[in-house]
Amino acid sequence: MKPKFTRFLVLFISLVLCLITCKAPVNNKAETRNDNRWIEEMTISQLQQGYKDGKYKIADIVKVYLDRINEIDKNGPRLNSIIEINPDALLIAEELDNEAATGKPKGPLFGVPVILKDNIDTHDKMPTTAGATVLKNSFPGTDSFVARKLREAGAVIIAKSNLSEWANFRAKMSSSGWSGVGGQTKNPYVLDRNPCGSSSGSGAAVSANLCMVAIGTETNGSIVCPSNNNGIVGIKPTVGLISRTGIVPISFSQDTPGPMVRTVEDAAITLGALTGIDSSDSKTIASKGKYLTDYTKFLKKDGLNGKRIGLQKKDMGFSDKVDSLMNKTIAYLKSHGAEVVEVEFPKGLNYEDASYQVLLYEFKDGLNKYFAGHGSDSRAKNIKELIEFNKSDSIELRYFDQSILEQAEKKGDLNSPEYRKALADMTKATREEGIDKVMNSYRLDAIMAPTGSPAWKTDLLLGDHFVGGSSSLAAIAGYPAITVPMGFIDDLPVGVTFYGKAWTEPILLEIAYSFEQGTKQRKAPKYRISD
C-alpha cells in the first residue's frame, strides 16, 4: 500500500469516527435554544414524575432554566423580562436534591423553578425594587408570606421579574412593562408588542418557558391582562385568599398575588400552595373555612356540564375579531353542557371613580408603611421623599411623569370622610349591587367576558393603547377571576375570563379546566419581529 494512500485512508477513517462520536460545536443562539427546547411547555406533574423516575436532578433543571434566561431574555430576542437572577438558585437546587436523597417528604412544588414579580419581598441576595431606582438596593430582612410558602412547598425561586414600575400606579400615561430598574419588557410572540402589566415580566417569562411558575400581583388587571397578552393562564384570587404581607402595596382593598402559569392544572397546584391565614394581613382572616390547600380535585374534564354562565355583552364590541373568538368559545361551552345567558348589570354602577380615590388613599398609607419597615434600605422614607428623589433622578422621569404619586401624596389618612365614602360606594356597587346581585338574579355559576385585546405596539412616547378589557368589576369587588387562552388573532393570543363571587375559585377552575382541555389554545411563542 502506497504511503500517500495510507495517510489518506487514516484521515478518512478519523473523519468518519469524529462525525459519529463528536458533537458539533454550538455556533449561534438559535442552536443553543434548540438544545433545551425539550423542557418547553413541561408541566409541574411531568417534572415531578421525572424526578420520581430519576430522569432529572433539580440542579440540572434549574440550570436549564437559567441558561434559557441568559439565551432568550438577556441575549437572543432580549425579552428583558428578568430584573435579577438569584445567585443562590443552583445551591438551593442542590440542597433540595440532597433532601430528596434522604427520603424527606416533598411539597407540592418540590423542585419547581419559580420567578417572583419584583414587588414581592425575598430575604436573600436579591433586592426588592418594585422596578423603582429608589429601592434598587433594598434587601428585605424577611421573606414575604408568598416567598415563605413557596420555599415550604419545595419551590426554587430562581429570579425576580420586571414589572410596570410601582405596579403601574405612578403616571396617568405610561408603557406597561417599563420600569426605571428593568427598562421595557417585550412580548415574546411579537417583540415590538406590549406584554401588558403590571406583572409584565412574570407573564413574558412564563410564556417563554424561562420558568415553570411565576407569581404576579393584581390591583386591577395586572395578572389577567399580561396573561392575556402573553398567552398563559392567570388566577386573580379572592382578596384575602393569599396574604399580601411583604408585597409592595397599592391597595389594601384590592391587592392580591396570584399564579401565572401555562396550564390550569399548574395554576391549581400553585394556588393551593400559597393559601393560608396570616395574622399580619387581616384580609386573610375571612378565608378561614374557605381556603383549600389542594385545588386539583376541581380539575374535571366535564366541568362545563350543567354550569350556568353569564355573558357580559358590554365588555364585547371593541374588536370584531375578538368577538368572533368569543362566539366560538360560547358555542364550545354550550356544546359541552354549559348554559350561556346574556346578563345586564344595573345601570349607574359608578364604581371606577370611587375605586380610584380609594387607591390614592391606600397607596399613600400602604407605601409609607412599607418604607418605614425597610429602614435604611430605601433612599426615601415616605411618598413625599420618593417624589423628590424621582425629580433628581436621570432615569425615572425620562419617559413618564409621576402625577399619580403626587395626587396620592396630597391625600389625608384612612379616617378621611372622602375615603370612607368612596370605599363604601365602590364595595356596594361591585358586590351587593353588582356581581352578587346579577349572579343571584340569573342563578349563575360564573360570568364570562373577553380578557382583552391582542397586544398593542409598545409606545414609550404615547403610552399604552388599551381598547378593551374586563378586569375592573372583579378586581374592584375583590372577587376571583381566571383567564385562559381562547385563540389567536394573527400571531397574538387572546384570553377569556371567568369570574364570580368571593371564594368561588373551585367553580372557576372546573369551568376553565374543562374549556382548556377541550380546546388546547396555548401555543409557545416564536419571538417574531413585526413586518
* Active site amino acids: 117, 198, 222
What's the Cα-to-Cα distance from 495 to each of 36, 97, 260, rounded to whole Å? 28, 37, 13
Q: Which three cell numbers stand for residue 484?
A: 385562559
Sign of the torsion angle spanned by Cα atoms 457, 462, 463, 468:
negative
As a 3-state breakdown, the chain gives helix, strand, coil percent values, each rounded to 5, of: 40, 15, 45
Instruction: Give Dmax (Cα) for the chain.
Output: 105
Q: Which residues of 88-117 are buried (b: 16+ CB within 10 A; e: fewer)?
A: ebbebbeebbebbeeeeebbbbbbbbbbbb
The DSSP 8-state label assigned to residue 528 in this structure reads B
Q: Does residue 459 contact residue 465 with C-beta atoms inside 8 Å?
A: yes
Q: Does residue 32 contact residue 252 with C-beta atoms inside 8 Å?
A: no
Q: Reading across the β-sheet that carries 481-489, which strands appear in turn?
A: 82-85, 156-161, 113-117, 213-218, 256-261, 233-236, 481-489, 492-499, 446-450, 308-312, 339-343
**Which pairing describes strands 446-450 and 339-343: parallel, antiparallel, or unpaired?**
unpaired
The DSSP 8-state label assigned to residue 285 in this structure reads G
